[in-house]
């Protein structure tokens, strides 16, 4: 089911009303209803793949329970099989402290240090006690989830790449690929459920014994298919809290849904109408057209993905849940490091916490730190899809990030520009960062690395003729300008609508935004969200 | 909760009212505009045309058959139903639409092209039909558009989203700022264009094209012609002039004409082939390989009426 579909327009109010008016009195029943709704939401696309979500949830729920019975003290692994963790007040206190620490200091050094320690905690154990202990369950969870992801998403890629490689050596291999359908959202929910097992393994989170709450956490429909990839430490506890409808939360949710739909249906889908023909016929396009194609793709992917995230966060708010922010006006970034603090935050922090830091992060010799950065960016690219284009895209970002890291400037822009109008220096920094990001997007969007090179070289080779830009409709030109201005205005609150004061002024703004979605939006064909393919 | 639901309901109600209001303005405004053949479909749906001679066909019908000249010569009321970029499948639906709202004509001139019976992949500029989407025949025309989702036509304003300019034209129809395009006269668009040179490029490249006839579509046309005859309507199949260069580019042009001619004689339908007329040999009468210019239309109309 797509957020921008008539089906969802009917589905959402029904679920909302039943949730608050029929099931509100019983938290367990309310969670069960959310689970059922989430499965309907997902099954609407293809019910056969529900089995994968259920299997993934079941494996991690079981691993979590088993991990809960094994606790760690310093570097020793002690099995507490058969002991009720809830009865152990010391452990309970330790775990709740960890959870609070993670929740309050998500972007500080505190959880980072803690996680490094917990990951390195098994070094002294022998293999037998290690395997009998926590790692057995973590390995099982990792193997199952990554195995499932690997099979559905990367199987054909590895077969194709191996075939190409063997052919290069002069052999003629006959290896067949499988006709696999990529289950929507598999990369998102496997990462979400993995975060739970890893956090429980590290002792950062108390495992849950409530299967309904856990299964709902994995399948929570607002963010099931394209994130934000929630941490169990943030989302899971919300399923145990009695939820009461709050006007402000509901109102904020509606604003986010409205703005998310504008970004998706007006900005992204209109840009797609221009971008797709340019990328499909890049060989014959002029240099200026190719540049416009790359810039508009940057708008398209941002509008598409951040629009989805806004709608997801907004819908979750309607049900009394707070999801993490996924985008913070990334195109106003002044360098690549800042861009990565603002783009797809839930994924970049996931990789930071579960890959980069365990590898040693930046607190290792420079060469190792550079290796870690490369690994994280390449894996991040590979996460997006089984194609060398995504890996190259990741590699480009690593190459852009490393010089900033080496001169120690990777944390120099931690806050947004505070002025209403940016300085010339800031404008220059923003434009140059945006240009570099656009170049990398060409690899992301192209079908092959060769196509991407062809596209970029076409910008230089083909004459930059003074084009007639009539083919870029007035709608998209005006809408993009309005969009940029509103994004700039709302860069602190992550939604410009929150800045509006005065009831009538606010209502006019809401109605006008909704009207523009209908007036400027693309409806001729159902436009899927780009990140559904990941 | 009550406050939230009340406010949401109120805002949605206001929005719905505005959206339907603007949709109505666009829909009614665009019907009177000169966009494509939209005014023609408006006249057809409004009814009361009651032409005695009806021209059916593609863009070549649209720009070649001048009802004014035909009326002056025959004394019969004439109307041009030509649809730009169309093949037989959509021409048939347009005729159905006409017959649903107007009296059947005495005579139909069915303008045939080399490509009339090719399978259609889409309807050229289909947005011109959207203001009339509730009509059964219009829906069946839109359905010919491969892969088109008709559900979105139910959404106000959004139904015009495939061509945003329609929305602006519709709204601007109520203001002095209107889009100036040549208006249709009884469905006829006078071709003011001059030779555009695109065809010369084709000749330079020595390209040749073969036009196929889909037998199922052609059989359907034959049955339809018989049915119209049974309704008491006289049918004429006419192939208006093609520039001689274009005839050479179509590798099987004479085979196609033979099929038309043989079938017409079997069905005892008058068949007028103007591809060999002297007009076809003079570039000055064309604006491209298959379309006459205004002078060519004058000349063709006179020749046709003499043939008649």
Q: B159 and chain A: CB distance < 8 Å anywhere?
A: yes
**H or E segment and range at residue B45:** helix B38-46
- Mutation target to probe the A interface, by most A beta carbons within 10 A, among B3, B9, B15, B163 is B15
**Whole-number pLDDT of residue B202:** 67
B218 within 8 A of B266, measured Cβ to Cβ: no
A188 to A66, A191, A196, A255, B283: CA distances (angstroms): 24, 5, 13, 25, 64
Query: Residue A524: which of B11, B161, B168 has the nearest Cβ?
Result: B161
Of the candidates B282, B286, B283, B279, the one whose C-alpha atom is nearest the C-alpha of residue B300 is: B279
Report the length, in residues, of chain B.
308
Of the candidates A127, A134, A140, the one whose C-alpha atom is nearest the C-alpha of residue A58 is: A140
Q: Does residue B214 register a pLDDT over 90?
A: no
Cis, peptide link before residue B191, omega less than 30° from 0: no
ipTM summary value: 0.72
**B185 secondary structure, DSSP code:** B
Structure tokens that stand for B268 in this block = 């005892």
Decide which of B160 and B53 is more confident.
B53
Average pLDDT over residues B197-206: 69
**Whole-number pLDDT of residue A87:** 39
How far is B128 from B238, CA to CA, in rounded Å? 26
**A244 secondary structure, DSSP code:** -
Query: Residue B152: which of A250, A511, A523 has the nearest Cβ?
Result: A523
**Whole-number pLDDT of residue B108:** 94
Collect all residues from A whose CB is shorter than 8 A from any CB in B.
6, 20, 245, 247, 250-251, 254, 473-475, 507, 510-511, 514-515, 518-526
β-strand partners of B188: B185
Q: Which CATH superfamily is domain B2-307 in?
A: SGNH hydrolase (3.40.50.1110)
Average pLDDT over residues B35-56: 88
- The per-residue b/e assignment along A279-294, b for 16 or more CB within 10 angstroms, e otherwise, is beebeebbbbbbbbbb
CB neighbourhood size of A9 (10 A): 10
**Whole-number pLDDT of residue A104:** 38
Q: B162 and chain A: CB distance < 8 Å anywhere?
A: yes
A265 within 8 A of A5, measured Cβ to Cβ: no
**Whole-number pLDDT of residue A138:** 87
How far is A513 from B38, CA to CA, in rounded Å? 30
Q: B169 and chain A: CB distance < 8 Å anywhere?
A: no
A89 within 8 A of A99, measured Cβ to Cβ: no
> Catalytic one among A344, A384, A397, A413?
A384
**B103 secondary structure, DSSP code:** P
The alpha-carbon gap from B117 to the nearest alpha carbon of chain A, in Å, equals 28
**Whole-number pLDDT of residue B284:** 87
β-strand partners of B56: B110
β-strand partners of B62: none
Helices marked H in A366-423: 366-384, 388-406
Structure tokens that stand for A375 in this block = 């690994």
B93 within 8 A of B232, measured Cβ to Cβ: no
How far is A73 from A203, CA to CA, in rounded Å? 10
Active site residue A384: yes
The pTM of the full predicted model, rounded to 2 decimals, is 0.78
Q: Chain A contacts of B167, Cβ < 8 Å?
A: 519
Phi, psi angles (nearest 5°) of residue A487:
-65, -40
Full pLDDT tens readout for chain A, 534 residues? 788 788 899 999 999 999 999 988 889 999 999 999 999 999 988 888 888 899 999 999 999 888 887 754 433 333 333 333 333 434 333 333 333 333 333 333 334 334 333 333 444 455 556 556 778 888 899 999 888 888 877 777 777 777 777 777 777 766 666 566 667 788 888 899 999 999 888 888 888 989 999 999 999 999 988 879 998 888 999 999 999 999 999 999 999 999 999 999 888 888 888 888 889 888 888 888 888 889 999 999 999 999 999 999 999 999 999 999 899 889 988 889 999 998 999 999 999 999 998 888 888 888 888 999 999 999 899 888 778 899 999 999 999 999 988 888 777 766 766 666 777 888 898 999 999 999 999 999 999 999 999 999 988 876 666 555 555 666 677 777 787 777 777 776 666 777 677 778 888 989 999 999 998 888 766 566 665 555
β-strand partners of B110: B56, B237
**Whole-number pLDDT of residue A183:** 77
β-strand partners of A77: A72
**Whole-number pLDDT of residue B224:** 92
**Whole-number pLDDT of residue A472:** 62
**C-alpha triplet B63, B238, B91: angle, nearest 5°:** 65
Structure tokens that stand for A185 in this block = 């959202």
How far is A372 from A365, CA to CA, in rounded Å? 11
């Amino acid at each position: 089911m797509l957020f921008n579909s008539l089906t969802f327009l009917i589905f959402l109010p029904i679920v909302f009303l039943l949730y608050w008016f029929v099931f509100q009195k019983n938290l367990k029943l309310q969670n069960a209803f959310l689970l059922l709704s989430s499965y309907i939401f997902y099954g609407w696309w293809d019910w056969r793949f529900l089995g994968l979500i259920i299997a993934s949830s079941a494996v991690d729920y079981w691993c979590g329970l088993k991990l809960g019975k094994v606790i760690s003290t310093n570097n020793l692994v002690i099995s507490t099989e058969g002991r009720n963790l809830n009865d152990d007040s010391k452990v309970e206190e330790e775990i709740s402290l960890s959870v609070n620490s993670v929740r309050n200091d998500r972007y500080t050094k505190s959880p980072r240090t803690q996680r490094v320690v917990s990951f390195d905690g098994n070094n002294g154990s022998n293999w037998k006690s290690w395997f009998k202990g926590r790692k057995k369950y973590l390995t099982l969870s990792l193997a199952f989830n990554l195995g499932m992801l690997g099979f559905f998403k990367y199987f054909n890629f590895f077969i194709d790449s191996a075939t190409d490689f063997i052919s290069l050596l002069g052999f003629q291999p006959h290896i067949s690929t499988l006709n696999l359908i990529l289950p929507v959202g598999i990369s998102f929910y496997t990462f979400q459920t993995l975060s739970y097992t890893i956090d429980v393994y590290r002792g950062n989170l108390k495992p849950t014994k409530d299967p309904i709450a856990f299964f709902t956490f994995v399948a929570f429909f607002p963010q099931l298919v394209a994130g934000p990839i929630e941490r169990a430490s943030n989302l899971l506890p919300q399923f145990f809290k009695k939820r009461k409808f709050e006007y402000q939360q509901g109102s904020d949710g509606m604003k986010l849904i409205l703005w998310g739909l504008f970004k998706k249906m007006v900005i992204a889908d209109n840009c797609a109408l221009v971008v797709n023909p340019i990328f499909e016929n890049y060989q014959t396009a002029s240099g200026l057209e190719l540049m416009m194609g790359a810039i508009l793709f940057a708008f398209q992917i941002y509008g598409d993905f951040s629009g989805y995230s806004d709608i997801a966060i907004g819908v979750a708010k309607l049900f009394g849940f707070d999801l993490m922010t996924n985008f913070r006006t990334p195109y106003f970034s002044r360098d690549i490091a800042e861009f990565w603090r603002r783009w797809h935050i839930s994924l970049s922090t996931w990789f930071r916490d579960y890959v980069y830091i365990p590898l040693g992060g930046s607190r290792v010799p420079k060469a190792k730190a550079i290796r870690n950065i490369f690994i994280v960016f390449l894996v991040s690219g590979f996460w997006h899809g089984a194609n060398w284009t995504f890996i190259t895209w990741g590699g480009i970002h690593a190459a852009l990030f490393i010089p900033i890291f080496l001169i120690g400037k990777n944390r120099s822009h931690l806050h947004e520009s505070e002025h209403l109008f940016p300085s010339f220096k800031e404008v220059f920094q923003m434009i140059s960062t945006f240009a570099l990001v656009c170049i990398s997007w060409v690899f992301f969007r192209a079908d092959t690395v060769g196509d991407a090179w062809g596209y970029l070289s076409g910008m230089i080779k083909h004459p930059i003729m003074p084009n007639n830009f009539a083919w870029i409709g007035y709608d998209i030109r005006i809408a993009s300008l309005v969009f940029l201005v509103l994004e700039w205005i709302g860069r602190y609150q992550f939604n410009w609508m929150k800045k509006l004061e005065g009831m009538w002024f606010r209502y006019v703004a809401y109605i006008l935004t909704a009207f523009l979605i209908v007036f400027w939006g693309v409806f001729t064909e159902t436009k899927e969200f780009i990140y559904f393919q990941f | 909760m009550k406050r939230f639901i009340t406010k949401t309901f109120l805002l949605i109600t206001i929005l719905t009212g505005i959206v339907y209001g603007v949709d109505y303005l666009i829909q009614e405004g665009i019907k009177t505009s000169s966009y494509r053949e939209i005014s023609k479909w408006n006249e057809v749906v409004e009814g009361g045309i009651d032409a005695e001679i009806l021209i059916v066909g593609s863009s070549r019908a649209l720009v070649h058959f001048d009802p004014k000249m035909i009326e002056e010569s025959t004394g019969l009321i004439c109307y041009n139903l030509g649809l730009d970029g169309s093949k037989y499948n959509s021409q048939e639906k347009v005729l159905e639409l006409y017959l649903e709202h107007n009296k059947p004509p005495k005579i139909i001139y069915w303008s045939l092209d080399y490509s009339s019976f090719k399978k259609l992949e889409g309807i050229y500029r289909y947005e011109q039909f959207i203001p009339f989407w509730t009509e059964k025949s219009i829906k069946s025309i839109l359905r010919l558009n491969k892969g088109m989702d008709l559900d979105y036509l139910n959404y106000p304003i959004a139904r015009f989203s495939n061509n945003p300019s329609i929305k602006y034209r519709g709204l601007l129809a109520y203001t002095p700022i209107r889009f100036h395009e040549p208006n249709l006269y009884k469905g006829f668009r006078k071709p003011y264009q001059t030779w555009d040179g695109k065809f010369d490029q084709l000749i330079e490249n020595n390209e040749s094209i073969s036009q196929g006839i889909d037998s199922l579509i052609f059989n359907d046309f034959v049955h339809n012609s018989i049915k119209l005859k049974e309704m008491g309507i006289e049918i004429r199949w006419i192939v208006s002039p093609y520039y001689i260069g274009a005839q050479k580019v179509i590798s099987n042009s004479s085979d196609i004409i033979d099929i038309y001619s043989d079938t017409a004689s079997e069905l005892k339908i008058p068949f007028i082939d103007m591809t060999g007329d002297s007009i076809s040999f003079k570039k000055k009468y064309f604006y491209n390989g298959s379309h006459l210019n205004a002078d060519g239309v004058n000349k063709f109309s006179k020749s046709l009426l003499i043939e008649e």
